[in-house]
Structure 1
Amino acid sequence: MIKGGLTVDHNAPSVLHFQSNYTKSELRVDSVSLKEFTKYEWQENRLKNIEKVRKRTLRVNVSNKDGKKIGGAKIKIQQRKLQFVIGCATPSSILMSESYQKWFVSRFTTAVFDNEMKWYYVEGLQGHENYSTPDAMLKFFEDHGIDVRGHTVLWGADNIQRWVKELPPRQLLSESVRRMGSLMSRYAGKLVAWDVVNENLHHPLFEERLGKNASAMFYKIASSLDSKATMFLNEFNTLEHPGDMVSIPSKYVEKLQEIKAFPGNEELVIGIGLQGHFDSHPNIPYVRAVFDLLGETKMPIWLTELNVMPCSNQAYYLEEIMREAFAHPAVKGMMIWIGWKPDRCNEMCLLNYELQNSPSGDVVDKLFAEWKTTNLTGVTDKEGSFEVKVFHGDYEITVYNPNGGANVTKEVQVYDDKSETLHVSISL
């Protein structure tokens, strides 16, 4: 199946042109479906999807010690954490600014380091490792209950260390395995995910030097070094640039299948990392089509490095992309790639130099508020029940005893599940 989408800004006759680089067979189109949506219809569909895939009914049943149902009991429900992951990148500057720390930890549940775990950062000179910065960053986030993604274990890009580039194949293999052991054993059990071989569609250094199964082998090694974390592919342009034939969704799926076909990887859950470095005109219908196609793999999809290049509509486009991701059931998280530094700003910033929100920062805060169930109150009916639909996440439920007895507080996880309603029983 081929799936895509486009946005049309003005009325004009159009022709759909199908082209393939495969010349050994004739290309024929058996069935074509083209459906138009207004902007309003698209947004309404997205809102309905959010209600369907990001919320669940919570039913609180209150009784006394003898099992008698208690009506008229006041209930307060407070969300402590959203199940859907919304995280942010940061450089080591977070260790230097208390104001930035407060801003970060008050919003995000997951962090990823810009460069501080990369091979060239901790071992610029062969045999001279220095983990002091990533150690300090990880401790900070652990102390504040924030999860961390590991970025990145191996990377075949042109800007890797010169000494790595110059290694002969046998030594490249041994040094790569040593690197994996050094990094992943150090942080095993402490991270939620690893980008194992970064951008291996665009930068297939290891396949070129070590053979076509190089990445598959590294993923097997990685899973043995840290069995608790999810191992991710992490690629650019799959989502944001339909014209990049190197990393189109079908190529991504081929790589995923190639890795899972390697002996020992058959049951491995491999996360689909879509970087999401968008230019000034993101193709939102295509974004949804990519989510649909990659979602068929049943592997978790994350936007791993989300940003929008500077333009007059930067904040608007960021909001559109985030809403599209949140509305799709296959997407489990997104990491915003801002990399705030006190002396400069990269392509997109959520903060200015004075640590005040930018328009894009305001968008993120608005969506946090919209996707959170806060200070929800209610009263049990005569059957002792109170029912409400809430966003998936961790909650604290407090029931106030109408008879003057002790109040009861209970922590519950309202997560995505086949059962539409989560029943929570509380005894006063």
Structure 2
Amino acid sequence: MRPAIFGETATGFYTPGFLLKNLTVGNFYCFSTWIKIQGANSALIRASLKIENRTYNCIGTVLAKNGCWSFLKGGFVLDSPSNLALLLFQNSDDKDIDITIDSSSLQPFTDQEWRFNQQFMINTQRKRAVTIHVSDQQGNRLQGAAITINQVSKDFPFGSAIAHTILGNLPYQNWFVERFNAAVFEN
């Protein structure tokens, strides 16, 4: 992908981005790019997607530090077709800084490809092979023993976006904590 420059600000800064053509409804799109900033010690850089009738304001973010390359990865799924779309990278607080992008990619996946890759990652990254030996009190192996295993904790973050209404709502908090160990607030 070749970057383009969109929208000069009053102070002479530009918004880097990409012009995307003929995006397909229902496909999963994953993108990545390296970001470097100048003009601030650090900044939260936000990727947004503008299509003909809609704007997706935050489809990926990275906290970039001045003069260092930071990796931004994100994704989106369209619910309506798009002949032209703009993938833009901007400072989330709208202050003018110089943003440089490099080594960018955009990869479409069908639902079937996405689910296959998802299952592959679960099987190779999250599941582990175990060997269980059942023995009696003297240490002799018991053949054909029936056992039950329950997962009691997770080694990886598993979460969801939550609304601000969770604050002060104890039943919702308890329900959430039973199921997740990570959270982010919705817009």
Normalized against structure 2, the TM-score is what?
0.37
State which structure, 1 or 2, has the greater radius of gyration over its C-alpha atoms: 1
Of Structure 1 and Structure 2, the greater helix share is in 1
- Relative contact order, higher structure (CA 8 A, sep 6+): 1
